[in-house]
Amino acid sequence: MSERDNISVVQGFIDQVLNGGDLSALERYWTEDMVWRGGSLGEYHGLANFKKFAEANAAGAFTGMHLEPQRFLTDEDTVVALFTNSGTNTGPFMGMPATDKPAKWNGVGIYRIHDGKIAEATFVEDILAMLLQLGITRLPSAS
């Protein structure tokens, strides 16, 4: 597949599953033996395990969740997506009650494509910025 085709796979996953909420489309975009590394959100091996995680969090913590790619970079079978994520915290998140506050934070997703599907992905997101906006944590004072 071309690098443009690989970007289309990632963009399709973002549009249909992440932003569109269509979890039934996961099989279209991910291999059965996929690996998802979500930093503070955990690591999942295999599509069945990832689906359980996604289903448990779909109704989840944020309303109006939207991932907006800012830029894609490619190198053969790898697609890097620089993105902004946003939503309003209307449900429990990481064991904390909802704050009903909006948040917007940056992140990077690194996807490896194999035979037209995502085989593995690693995410780095500025969760601290999100937690600060939600009022869940704060930085120590400079004094």
- What averages of pLDDT result for each successive group of 10 residues across the chain (143 residues)? 95 95 94 93 93 77 92 97 96 88 97 98 94 92 60
Please give the pLDDT value at position 116.
97
b/e per residue 4-20 (b: at least 16 CB within 10 A):
eebbbbbeebbebbbee
DSSP-assigned beta bridge partners for residue 36? 44, 121
pTM, full prediction: 0.89
Distance CA 32, CA 52 (A): 13
Please give the pLDDT value at position 58.
63
Please give the pLDDT value at position 96.
87
